[in-house]
Amino acid sequence: MASSTPFKTITLLLLTLLLLTAEVSATAPFGMEQYEGYSEGVMMFQGSIYGHAMEMNGTIEEIFDRFTLEHPEVELDFKSNATAAGFQAERRDLQGSEAHNKVARSKFGLQCCPIAAWGWTGAIQVIIEDGIDYLNHVQARCGVGARSCVRVSCSWNAGIYLCNDNYYGIFPSCPYIGSYAQDISNVCWGFSRGMEVCCGQEFDTDSYNVIVRYANEGC
């Protein structure tokens, strides 16, 4: 019987290590704290989806998951021309004519991966495009705190991130953030293992930037 004690101890240690590993993986940072003085946060969503008010924290996929649970009567149709036209009008209303005209001149510094020492790699392009579709079909703002980065969209290890260089929080419109991801998808794409992937970063003159890359932390 005495010989079974070390075996039990080793088994318990292994189980503990497995549990700790699972916990670390579940809460693993998404790599943006490498920016000196930055923290990682959760996106703040304020606005409406298909005319229904929504306010919660999380990625755009998590927000739509909640929305479909609360409003099962709404049929999501991202590919309809009529739907797309309606949301383009909502985007103009949300941004205002001055902000809408500012889009072209506020973007700068589009860079494709590899970028410096970050080691970012490509995300599956069609998954990124799905995240952009979600962002294009809300009338809302996507918030990020001071000097921090948030995941705007993350699915199947394909992530869209918003990083704020300001010392105060900001709430740009979600479709506008989606337009940065679209720029990156349009310009910074290639092939990896037979799949189209994209990866890059684009900046805004209002001191924030959007990143598209493979989400090493998983999602």
| Dihedral sign, Cα of residue 43, residue 45, residue 49, residue 53 | positive
Q: What total of structural domains would you count in the chain?
A: 1
Specify if 29 maps to a domain.
no
* Residue-range definition of the domain harbouring residue 147: 34-214
8 Å CB contact between 45 and 140: yes
Specify if 131 maps to a domain.
yes
> 51 in helix, strand or coil?
coil
8 Å CB contact between 202 and 107: yes
Specify if 11 maps to a domain.
no
Q: In the predicted model, what is the mean pLDDT of the chain?
A: 79
Specify if 17 maps to a domain.
no
Helix count and strand count (H, E) for the chain = 5, 12
Specify if 13 maps to a domain.
no
Those residues with Cβ within 8 angstroms of residue 111's Cβ, 6 or more apart along the chain or in another chain: 188, 200, 201, 202
Specify if 5 maps to a domain.
no
Please write the tens of the pLDDT for every residue from 5-21: 443 433 333 333 333 33
Please write the tens of the pLDDT for every residue from 35-67: 566 788 999 999 999 999 999 999 999 999 999
This prediction has a pTM of 0.77
DSSP-derived secondary structure letter, 174: H
Please write the tens of the pLDDT for every residue from 160-182: 999 999 999 999 999 999 999 99
Specify if 87 maps to a domain.
yes
